[in-house]
């Protein structure tokens, strides 16, 4: 089974959760590199602790 790694950033605004999807990556290493690239950007550096990588398995229909 193939896997992808999704990177997203979530934070709270006025009692609502906001989520920014950063991207989908072929490896955990590439996903973590994406987090490293954005961690100093405005809008991310203030709440970076809420960024995370989720691993998902893909299935193929036959």
List pLDDT tens digits, range 3-62.
888 888 887 778 888 888 889 998 889 988 998 888 888 877 777 556 667 887 877 666
Q: Is 15 helix (H, G, I), strand (E, B) or coil?
A: coil
In this predicted structure, what is the pLDDT of residue 30?
Answer: 92
In this predicted structure, what is the pLDDT of residue 33?
Answer: 92
Cβ-count burial 14-48 (b if 16+ within 10 Å, e if not):
eeeeeeeebeebeeeeebeebbeebeeeeebeeee
pTM given for the model: 0.70
Query: Looking at residue 61, what DSSP letter applies?
Result: -
In this predicted structure, what is the pLDDT of residue 49?
Answer: 56
Domain boundaries, the chain: 2-58
d(CA 57, CA 10): 22
């Amino acid at each position: 089974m193939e896997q992808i790694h999704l990177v997203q950033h979530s934070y709270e605004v006025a009692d609502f959760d906001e989520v920014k999807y950063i991207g989908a990556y072929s490896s955990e290493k590439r996903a973590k590199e994406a987090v490293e690239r954005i961690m100093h950007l405005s809008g991310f550096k203030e709440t970076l602790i809420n960024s995370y990588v989720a691993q998902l398995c893909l299935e193929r229909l036959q």
